[in-house]
Amino acid sequence: MRRILHSLVFFLALAIAQAQPTQHIWLLGNTADLPSESPYWVQLRQELEQASKPVYLLIAGDLVPDCDGKSPPEARLQPLLELARGLEGVQVGLLPGDRDWADSGPKGWDCIREMEQFVSKHAPQNVDWLIDDGCPGPDMVEIGDNILLLALNTQWWNHPYRKPIPADAVCDEIVEAA
């Protein structure tokens, strides 16, 4: 009996050791200061092309260097969209950070909505803006078998200026800290 148990444990361990991951999750953030012509984008694209699939790439926060109302969103977001364009087996999720909220400035919510509109109109199908309308979330994103990503727009709680509030009725639910 003991020999059978040891054999079962051995074969189970062998099977687990040979199992391949069913999903790869990559995390990236603070891309705002990378120039669009940076070799980093080329290298990252090559790594994604060669990676075992499927891949979920979460780009969290500080997507663009500034939101000054002068430069159009395409100038700031294009490198992120081009990175993902045509990549099979790669899904990209975008979450804004404090710099995307105009460095926590008065036009922050406007900047977020402008970026979201640009992404929804011009992004390839494998790119998603994770939390709509500048809402705080949380939103659940299914990124693989038995894998859920809990997305939070944490800058919403820190933002001192205009942002969606319950009376606006743009967010499903907003719970403010007491």
Query: What digits encode the pLDDT tens for the residues 6-42?
Result: 566 666 665 665 566 678 999 999 988 888 888 998 9
> In which residue are the tokens 């299914």 written?
142
Report helix, strand or coil for 60: strand
* Average of per-residue pLDDT values in the chain: 85
**Nearest 5 degrees, angle CA 73-CA 79-CA 84?**
115
pLDDT of residue 10: 64
pTM, rounded to two decimals: 0.83
**Token digits for 5?**
């148990």
Confidence check: pLDDT of 138 > 70? yes
The dihedrals phi and psi of 133, each to the nearest 5 degrees, come to 60, 20
Tell how many helices (H) and how many strands (E) occur in the chain. 5, 6
Residue 130 per-residue DSSP state: S
CA torsion through residues 163, 169, 171, 173, sign: positive
* Side-chain half-sphere CA neighbours of 14 within 13 A: 6
